[in-house]
């Protein structure tokens, strides 16, 4: 039997005036896989994430999650279905504690009124604490987030996403700006998240990380799909090599 598609993107298109940021992109993400997206600057990768996660409306096309269309659902509805994302820039609430950030993430997956979640729902706090433990920040829950180094902010952003109990995690360039050792540590963390049964879709420029993690990759260029398939095959494709060399 064919592997089950957890997410199906069909002809996804986003136009901004005369510019087509995402142009008829189609792909499936299978349950439990790690799916990579790459391509030069401005290729449309982040816009593709935005339209899957409900942050922008697709101009046309369809997105199916677990077989149901979500292209008209709100960010909150999509989050409650089990899709969470992180952003390219480490975005945490700087003045909040590490635990505070994780609680905000946990609240989004709870489906409960914010005042109940944030102030007294023990289940939300438990999930936030468990997510911090998972990424190795358990003993730093009381620290203020602002002064944390980049890697810790990235881990915190991932913990906050995990705290909403997603079944599919979208990561926008998680390896950007990390040292080699931090890249190794994040590779291990993402493997553990995937081993816990969470499907991962990531945009990534760091080829070493993409090649180590991704079961399949999609290469975008100027809004379109250039190639998709098995990473080694796709990345050695002359057209993909040309686009990458041409953009650097």
User: Site residues for ligand ATP, window 120-139 (CB under 6 A)?
Assistant: none
Instruction: Give 146's Cβ-side CA count (13 Å radius).
Output: 3
Q: Measuring CA to CA, which residue among 82, 212, 98 is closest to residue 144?
A: 98
In the complex, what is the shortest distance from the CB of residue 190 to ligand ATP, in angstroms, rounded to a whole number? Answer: 19
12 binds ligand ATP (CB under 6 A): no
The CA distances from residue 153 to 77, 103, 171, in Å, are: 26, 15, 14
Question: What is the contact mask toward ligand ATP in residues 33 to 72, using x (rule: CB under 6 A)?
Answer: ------x-xxxxxxx-------------------------
CB of 19 or CB of 144, closer to ligand ATP: 19
CB of 14 or CB of 107, closer to ligand ATP: 14
115 binds ligand ATP (CB under 6 A): no
21 binds ligand ATP (CB under 6 A): yes
CA distance 115 to 106: 13
In the complex, what is the shortest distance from the CB of residue 53 to ligand ATP, in angstroms, rounded to a whole number? Answer: 13
Q: At 51, is the secondary structure helix, strand, or coil?
A: helix
In the complex, what is the shortest distance from the CB of residue 5 to ligand ATP, in angstroms, rounded to a whole number? Answer: 23
In the complex, what is the shortest distance from the CB of residue 45 to ligand ATP, in angstroms, rounded to a whole number? Answer: 4
89 binds ligand ATP (CB under 6 A): no
Residue pair 12/70 in contact by the 8 Å Cβ criterion: no
CB of 51 or CB of 163, closer to ligand ATP: 51
CA distance 172 to 208: 16
In the complex, what is the shortest distance from the CB of residue 208 to ligand ATP, in angstroms, rounded to a whole number? Answer: 17
Q: What is the dihedral of CA 216, 221, 226, 228, to 10 degrees?
A: 10
Residue pair 30/5 in contact by the 8 Å Cβ criterion: yes
16 binds ligand ATP (CB under 6 A): yes
Strand partners for 27: 9
Residues lying near ligand ATP in the complex (CB under 6 A): 16, 19, 21, 39, 41-47
């Amino acid at each position: 039997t064919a592997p089950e598609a957890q997410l199906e993107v069909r002809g996804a298109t986003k136009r901004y005036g005369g510019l087509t940021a995402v142009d008829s992109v189609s792909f499936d993400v299978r349950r439990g896989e790690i799916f990579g997206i790459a391509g030069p600057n401005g290729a449309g990768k982040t816009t593709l994430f935005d339209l899957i996660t409900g942050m922008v409306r697709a101009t046309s096309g369809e997105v199916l999650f677990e077989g149901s269309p979500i292209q008209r659902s709100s960010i909150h509805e999509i989050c409650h279905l089990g899709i969470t994302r992180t952003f390219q820039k480490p975005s945490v609430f700087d003045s909040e504690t590490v635990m505070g950030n994780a609680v905000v993430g946990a609240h989004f997956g709870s489906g409960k009124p914010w005042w109940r979640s944030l102030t007294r729902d023990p289940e939300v706090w438990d999930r936030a604490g468990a997510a911090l433990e998972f990424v190795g920040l358990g003993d730093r829950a009381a620290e203020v987030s602002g002064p944390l180094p980049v890697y810790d902010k990235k881990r915190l952003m991932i913990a906050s996403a995990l705290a909403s109990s997603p079944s599919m995690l979208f990561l926008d360039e998680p390896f950007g700006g990390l040292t080699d050792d931090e890249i190794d540590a994040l590779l291990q963390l993402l493997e553990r998240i995937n081993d816990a049964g969470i499907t991962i879709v990531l945009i990534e420029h760091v080829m070493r990380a993409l090649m180590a993690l991704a079961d399949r990759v999609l290469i975008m260029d100027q809004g379109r799909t250039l190639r998709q398939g098995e990473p080694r095959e796709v990345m050695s494709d002359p057209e993909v090599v040309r686009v990458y060399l041409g953009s650097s």
